[in-house]
Structure 1
C-alpha cells in the first residue's frame, strides 16, 4: 500500500521545502540532495512505500536496520526535507510514484523543488541553470534570479510526473534544470543546482566546496549507479529539448 511512514514523530515541520533527488542525467539531483543531507546533518524522517518502486531492501553503513530505497530526511531548523533515492525509477512507474507522494505534499503544505539534468557535452563554460514553475512557483524563481529556459523542452521520469501532477493540481512548485554530463556523474552541475537554485529558493546556506574538491571521489562513488542506469538504457529523470518535435 502506498504511504509515507514517518519514523520520527518528534520532528516538527511547518510548510517545509522539499528537495527531490531521484537519479537522472549526471545524477545531479541525487548528488545535490545527498550533499545537502550530509552538510546539514539531516535526520532520517520517513520511509517512502510506493507502488512502482523496486521491491528491494537497503542497508546503510554502520547500521543493521533494513530500510526502503527511497527515504525522506528532515532538518526542522531550516524547515527542509530532502528525498533521497538509492534506485532509479522505471519510466513506466513514474506516475505511480508521483501519485504516492502527492497526498503527503498536500497534507504537509510542502513546497517542492524538483531537480533534473539536461544532457550537454562538457566545455569551459560553467553549467547553465534554468527554472520552470507551476502555480505561483515562478515567484520563488524570480526571487532566486533563476533564468527562464532558452529553448522548449520536457522533463520525464518521476520528476516529470510530479511536475505534471503539480501542474494539474495548480500546486506551487519549481523545477530546476541544469546542464549536465550525459554520461558520467556531474558534481559540478550539482554544485550549481545548490548554490544558484536550491539555496536561494529554500533560504539555506550549504557549503559546496567539497563537491569540487572531492569531485573524483564523488564520481567514483556514484559510478555504479550511473552504470546501472545506462545498462537499463532509460534515465530515471531527465530534461530534453523539444526541437525534434517542432
Structure 2
C-alpha cells in the first residue's frame, strides 16, 4: 500500500544490526519489551514511520511532540548485537498490517540489518497467573538459520498454531525473501498488559543477542 513512509531523523550505520518489532500484540508484550529495551539500552530516536492512514495524534513527552510510530537504535558495542527498535503507540488496523510489515522489512534490508525479532504474546488457556510458575517462551523462525538460533539457545520450537498481526506477516515475508525473522511467543494474559510475559521475552532476547544480563526483575 502506498502512503507509508519511513523518515530518518539521524544517520547511523546499522549494518549487521538486529531489529525488534514493537507493534502492540497480545498482552502488549511487544510494546513492553520495546519500551524496556529503549530505556535500558539508552537508545536514540533515529526515525519515524508515518502515513496518511495513521491516527492523527502526537504523543508529547518531556515537552517534545513525538510521532506515534518511532524508530530507535544504539551504537555498536564490542561483541553485543546492535539493536534497532520499532515502537508504536497504536494497534495497526488489519488493512494496514501487511503494508506496515513490508515497509519494516524493506527498510531493514536497505539498512543491511541481519535479523528481525518479534516478541509476541501467546494466549494460553488456563494459564496459572498465581504462584511461581515460569512463563514459557516458544520460538519460530523464517529460515533454517533462524531456526538453528532458536534450537541452539534451548528455546522450545513453536510447532503448530496461528501467529497473527505484524509478527505473522514478517515471518511470511522473511520466508519469501530468505531474510532471518524470529518470533518469540511468550505465554500472556490477553486482558491486561502482561509485564511478566514481557520479562521472559526480554530474558530470551538478552540470551540470544545481547549477553548483558539485563535486569527484567522489576517487570515480574
* Fold agreement, TM-score > 0.5: yes
For the Cα contact (< 8 Å) 2:71–2:84, is it kept in 1? Answer: yes
**TM-score, structure 2 as length reference:** 0.87
CA distance in 1, matches of 2:20, 2:35: 10
| 1:40 matched residue in structure 2 | 41
Q: 2:177 aligns with which of 150, 154, 169?
A: 169
| 1:18 matched residue in structure 2 | 19
CA distance in 2, matches of 1:87, 1:204: 30
| 2:59 matched residue in structure 1 | 59
CA distance in 2, matches of 1:44, 1:90: 24
Kindly report the root-mean-square deviation, in angstroms, between the aligned alpha carbons of the 2 structures: 1.7
Moved more, 25-34 or 90-99: 90-99
**Deviation string, structure 1 residues 154-196 (Cα, Å, up to 9, x no partner):** 111122111111111121111111110121111111010011x
**Runs of 4+ displaced beyond 4 Å:** none
| 1:142 matched residue in structure 2 | 151
CA distance in 1, matches of 2:134, 2:218: 17
CA distance in 1, matches of 2:52, 2:20: 21
Give yes or no for the alignment of 1:86 onto 2:89: yes
The 5 Å alignment of 1:70-219 reads: 70-78=69-77, 79-110=82-113, 111-120=115-124, 121-123=126-128, 124=131, 125-135=133-143, 136-149=145-158, 151-195=159-203, 197-205=204-212, 206-212=214-220
CA distance in 1, matches of 2:87, 2:188: 19
* Post-superposition offset of 1:50: 4.5
For the Cα contact (< 8 Å) 1:57–1:67, is it kept in 2? Answer: no
| 1:232 matched residue in structure 2 | none
CA distance in 2, matches of 1:38, 1:107: 26
* Post-superposition offset of 1:27: 0.6
Q: Which secondary structure does the structure 2 equivalent of 1:137 belong to?
A: helix
Structure 1, gaps ≥5 residues long: 213-246
**TM-score, structure 1 as length reference:** 0.78
Q: Which secondary structure does the structure 2 equivalent of 1:76 belong to?
A: coil
Higher helix share: 1
**Kindly tell me: are residues 168 and 77 of structure 1, through their superposed partners in 2, closer, same or farther at Cα, counting changes over 3 Å?**
same
For the Cα contact (< 8 Å) 1:32–1:191, is it kept in 2? Answer: yes
Structure 2, gaps ≥5 residues long: none
* Post-superposition offset of 1:51: 6.4
Give the aligned length: 207
CA distance in 2, matches of 1:12, 1:117: 31
